[in-house]
Amino acid sequence: MTEQPAGEGREATSPTPDGDTATPPGLFAEGSVEERVNRALTMVGSAIAVASISVIGLVLVVGVALRYFMNSSADYATELPTYLFPWLISGGVIAAMGRGGHLAVDFFVARMAPARARVVDIAAWGLSTVVLIILTFVSLRLLAPLTAQVTPILGWPVVGSFAGFALAVVALTVQCGCRLVSSIRIGPVHAQVTTAGGAA
């Protein structure tokens, strides 16, 4: 379960069920462009993760069955799971980012005054967005050289596997940009804790 704390001008929300692709309340202004973009990317990431793990699981089961019941093997059973693994990780990362599911250490930020917490939040998301933009350009430049490389068993282009990472970087860049805009518009998500009487 993922539970979003209340922040400045936001109401406390109930836990979000795992597997729910909807954007948890509080991350964005309801109905905003950034909220809709984040929800779309979360659905895409979830679909990629589910499809990847389904194919990987099926291929592994087939490979085990061939080995133990027919004393044979299939080339794709050895290499396909490795080929799809970056897509599985990328889909999960995109979905987790969209739902605010990544680990966050907000011990100090949650105890700051709302105005200071807002500045820190904007700076953090701004820096993350800039770093991801740079990483996006680097990963996209690697696509062309990888088109000439193939996997050792099936002879598939390596770029097909690497493209999962490139997609994740692009999606995370957009998602971080959306969180930056949200931080500027409605403030941080962190719970504000007062020293006198607990959580505000």
Give CA–CA dist 75/78, Å, rounded. 5
**pLDDT at residue 54 greater than cutoff 80:** yes
pTM of model > 0.85: no
Cβ partners under 8 Å of residue 11, min gap 6: 25, 26
Q: What is the mean pLDDT of the chain?
A: 82
What pLDDT sits at residue 11?
Answer: 41
Which tokens belong to 86?
Answer: 């970056």
DSSP, collapsed to helix, strand or coil, labels residue 22 as coil
For residues 94 and 42, the answer to whether their CB atoms sit within 8 Å is yes
DSSP, collapsed to helix, strand or coil, labels residue 27 as coil
Question: Average pLDDT in the 40-55 region?
Answer: 96
Length, in residues, of the chain: 200
Which tokens belong to 9?
Answer: 């001008």
Q: Report the share of the chain in percent with pLDDT over 90.
A: 44
Give CA–CA dist 136/189, Å, rounded. 26
What pLDDT sits at residue 167?
Answer: 94
> 87-145 pLDDT, tens per residue?
999 999 999 999 888 777 778 888 888 888 889 889 999 999 999 999 999 998 988 88
What pLDDT sits at residue 180?
Answer: 92
